[in-house]
Amino acid sequence: MPVPDVKPFTVVTGHYGVGKTNFCINLALDLAERYEAVIVVDLDIVNLYFRVSDYTDLLAEKGVRLIAPMFAGTTVDAPSLSAEIYSAFEAPGAVIFDVGGDDAGATALGRFQRDIGQIDHDMLYVVNRYRDLTATPTEAVRLLKEIEEASRLSATGIVNNSHLKQETTAETVLGSVGFACETARVLGLPLVCTTVPEGLRGVLPEGPVPVPFGSGPTAPASAQARYVQNAYHIKTYVRTQWEDPEWEGP
């Protein structure tokens, strides 16, 4: 699966730090191959570090337009949304909303509930089995309920973006599949994809036969899967300077 099968208007939500922004950058760059125009809306007015607005140049290179909060990148600590966001609702091509973490971040999304509700859209809930406070299906389900309550929008699919940053191995990814399946099953939502870092392409067994979630064999959330279905190969864009592979010491 090269690019997840999502609708051209997609909202991305989840807990702080599960990797929403990195997922959005990958999705935007990939959708730029498919659509004439792609817009990314940085709706994160909660966290001022490691946000999609830091990657404006990277996105612009591929023709992806970024709509950022008015003071993003200026270190002015003012949570203000741009009126330009409304242009996204009438734009041709694909639109991705990168929403801030938790229900706090989703509150800003609620501002656009009516506009989004009128558009055929996907709302993806990104989960990471290794992220503190959403590391169990129970916790992940509870947080989505809070996000849905704050945004007054409902998730349409789960993205399993389980990773341990630079320590991610094939076992890391495989060890998250049971968690993601169980979360999707409890929520009654499809597991849209499991992200696999580029470096693990070919290393990780990828399943030949997709099993519809909810009907497949149920495994305990902690069980180690043998293969990954609907793998979405992603690059790591969001990192600190010293994590740049070109700058690894000997």
Binding site for another protein (CB under 8 A): 16-17, 47-50, 75, 77, 128, 130-133, 135-136, 163-165, 167, 240-242, 244, 247-250
H or E stretch at 61: helix 56-61
Q: If phi over 0 gives left and psi between -120 and 50 gives alpha, with beta otherwise, what is residue 70?
A: alpha
Helix (H, G, I), strand (E, B) or coil at 194: strand
Closer Cβ to another protein, 88 or 234, answer by number:
234
| Vertex 243 angle, CA 57 and 239, to 5° | 45
Rounded to a whole number of angstroms, the minimum distance from the CB of residue 122 to another protein is: 25
Closer Cβ to another protein, 34 or 142, answer by number:
142
45 touches 85 (CB < 8 A): no
Rounded to a whole number of angstroms, the minimum distance from the CB of residue 250 to another protein is: 5
Rounded to a whole number of angstroms, the minimum distance from the CB of residue 238 to another protein is: 9
Rounded to a whole number of angstroms, the minimum distance from the CB of residue 221 to another protein is: 11
CA distance 36 to 42: 20
Torsion of CA 3, 233, 206, 216, to 10 degrees: -60
Closer Cβ to another protein, 118 or 241, answer by number:
241
237 touches 26 (CB < 8 A): yes
Closer Cβ to another protein, 95 or 158, answer by number:
158
Closer Cβ to another protein, 130 or 213, answer by number:
130
CA distance 47 to 58: 20
Closer Cβ to another protein, 220 or 250, answer by number:
250
Rounded to a whole number of angstroms, the minimum distance from the CB of residue 163 to another protein is: 8
Max intra-chain CA distance, the chain: 54
Rounded to a whole number of angstroms, the minimum distance from the CB of residue 85 to another protein is: 23
